[in-house]
């Protein structure tokens, strides 16, 4: 826990990624170019630069894990969500620099409408 933000390890994030039944939603908050270069397969991109204008579109009762390159920006996004009334947020401490799982390239899941990040069913 750092500044009231739960910090998740590489192993914890991997377990969330591998558990298709997980209720936690991984969200990449890096910029477009970083995501296209390399990202965790399937996870959505909502750049930090767009978070403030889209925060109201996120469901407050869901659980989020934010991902960036090193964990700094995703920590700030986590704090911003806490300040906006979200309770179930966590930061991937170490970010993509620590990720040793599978990666994908390209424009796989770039989010225009936040509702698209929620699993149906």
**Hey, which residues are catalytic here?**
68
Distance (Å, rounded) from C-alpha 33 to C-alpha 48? 13
Shortest CA distance to 88 belongs to which of 65, 54, 56? 65
Listed in sequence order, the residues at least 6 apart from 88 whose beta carbon sits closer than 8 Å to its beta carbon are: 24, 61, 62, 63, 64
Is residue 10 within 8 A of residue 96, CB to CB? The reply is: no
Distance (Å, rounded) from C-alpha 19 to C-alpha 82? 25
């Amino acid at each position: 826990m750092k500044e009231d933000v739960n910090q998740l390890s590489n192993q914890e994030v991997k377990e969330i990624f591998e558990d298709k039944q997980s209720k936690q939603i991984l969200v990449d908050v890096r910029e477009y170019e970083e995501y296209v270069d390399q990202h965790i397969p399937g996870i959505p991109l909502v750049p930090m630069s767009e978070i403030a204008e889209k925060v109201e579109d996120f469901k407050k009762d869901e659980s989020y894990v934010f991902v960036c390159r090193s964990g700094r920006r995703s920590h700030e996004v986590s704090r911003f969500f806490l300040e906006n009334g979200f309770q179930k947020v966590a930061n991937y401490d170490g970010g993509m620099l620590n990720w040793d799982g599978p990666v994908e390239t390209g424009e796989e899941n770039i989010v225009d409408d936040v509702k698209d990040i929620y699993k149906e069913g």
